[in-house]
Structure 1
C-alpha cells in the first residue's frame, strides 16, 4: 500500500516477514525503482518497459513513477543514466598504452551495454527517430571530453604528439571501430583486434609508429 506523509512525499510500504512494515522513500525508493526498471528493460526490452511492469517489479504503484518521471522516456533515460558508468581512462604515460588500456576497459565494461542498446532499444530508436550515438551523447555529462580527446591531450602535453588541429573523427576513431566490431559480432572484441586498431590504424593516422 502507499501513503503520503506531510513534508516527506510519497512512501512505499512493504510487509516484512514478521508482519511489520518497512517504508522506502527518497533516494532509497528511487534506487529500487531504477533497479527494477533495469531488470525489466534487460528481460523484456523497450516494448515491455512499461510503468505497469516497472511498478510491479519495484513493489510500488504507477502514480509513484509518474510523479518522478512523467514520460516513459524520462524513466528510460534515468534508468540508463544510472547504469551508464563512465569508463576509466588510464594514465600510463604512453599514448599507445593509454589507448589500448582504455579500449580494453571499454571492451570489458561496455560490450553488454552495447548489445542491450542495439537489440533491446531498437523500438525506442524507431519510436523517437533517434540513434545510439544521440542517446550516448544524452547520457554523457555536458561538456565532458571524450576519452580519446583526453588521451590525445595528455600525449600533446607530454610531447608525444605535436600540438596541431585534429578532426574529431580521427581522434575518436579507436572507440568507433571497437563499437563497430561489437555491433557486428554482439560479443566482446578479442584483444588482438584491440591492439590492431591502435597499432595498425590509429597511430599511423596520427603519424606515429605502432608497437615497438
Structure 2
C-alpha cells in the first residue's frame, strides 16, 4: 500500500478508536474529576469483594463503573495501582485513643479495630492472598503502604504518648514488639474468622505486650476475673 494511504488508514483507525472510547464512556463521560474517580473506586471495591484479586480486572471494573478501560488506564497505568487506590479509599484510619493510660489506649484501640475492622481484615487477607503471593509482599507491608507518608502506626503513636507521659522510658524498641498487639489481633481474626473475644484483647495487652515493654498494669487495671481455660 502506498505510504500515504497507510498513514490515512492509521489516522482513521485512531479516530475510530477515540470515538469508540467516547461511546464506551456513555454517561460516565459526564462525570469528571473526583466524582468519576469515586465512582470507579466504588465499583472497583465491589468487584474485589465479589471476585477477589484474580477477578479484579480493568474490564470488570470499567463495566461495573459504566466507563471504559482507557479511562482507568489514564489514572492507574497498572492494575496494582488501581488496587492500592481502591484499598486506600476503603481502609479508613481508626481513631487512636488518648486516655492518659498506656494500657487503656492499647485496649481501646484493639476494641475499636476488632469492631470496625474484623470483616475488612479477614476479607483482605483471604481475597488478596494471590496478590500477596504474586507481589511477594504481606498484609503487614500492605498496611504500612496504606498509611499516609510519614504517619506512624497506631501502636507507635500509643507508645510515643506513653513515653511523653513518663509511663515508659524513651529507649529504642523493635517495630515488631511495638506493633505486636495488632498483629496478634489479626492472627486471632484469621484463625477464627470471627471477632476476637474481649478477654483475649485484654490478655494480649496485659499478659503479652505490657511485660514485653517492661510495663505492668496497675492493680486496679488488671482483669478482675479469671480467664476461661486457666487454672
Length-normalised TM-score, structure 2: 0.80
Partner of 1:67: 74
Q: 2:99 aligns with which of 92, 98, 104?
A: 92
Matched, 1:113 2:105: no
CA distance in 1, matches of 2:152, 2:146: 13
Q: Gaps spanning 5+ residues in structure 1: where?
A: 5-10, 16-21
Please list, as runs of the form range in 1=range in 2, the aligned pairs for 1:36-55 lying within 5 A after superposition: 36-55=43-62
- Report how far residue 58 of structure 1 moved: 0.6
Deviations 1:61-112, CA, capped at 9 Å, x for gaps: 1111111111111111110111111111001111111000011111122211
Please list, as runs of the form range in 1=range in 2, the aligned pairs for 1:47-196 lying within 5 A after superposition: 47-196=54-203
| SS in structure 2 at match of 1:46 | coil
- Report how far residue 12 of structure 1 moved: 4.6
From the two aligned structures, give the one with the greater helix fraction: 2
- Report how far residue 3 of structure 1 moved: 4.1
Q: Gaps spanning 5+ residues in structure 2: where?
A: 1-19, 223-231
Partner of 1:14: 27
- Report how far residue 130 of structure 1 moved: 1.8
- Report how far residue 48 of structure 1 moved: 0.8
Q: 4+ residue stretches of structure 1 with deviation over 3 A?
A: 1-4
Partner of 1:7: none
Distance 1:134 1:166, change over 3 A: closer
Contact 2:47 2:55 in 1 (8 A): yes
Distance 1:2 1:25, change over 3 A: farther
Q: CA RMSD in A?
A: 2.0
CA distance in 2, matches of 1:162, 1:137: 25
CA distance in 1, matches of 2:184, 2:100: 23
CA distance in 1, matches of 2:133, 2:116: 26
Deviates more, 1:195-204 or 1:28-37: 195-204
Partner of 1:19: none
| Equivalent pairs, count | 200
Deviations 1:161-195, CA, capped at 9 Å, x for gaps: 22233222222111111111112112211111101
| SS in structure 1 at match of 2:30 | strand
CA distance in 2, matches of 1:74, 1:202: 35
CA distance in 1, matches of 2:56, 2:85: 13
Contact 2:21 2:70 in 1 (8 A): no
Larger CA Rg, structure 1 vs 2:
2
| SS in structure 2 at match of 1:48 | coil
From the two aligned structures, give the one with the greater strand fraction: 1
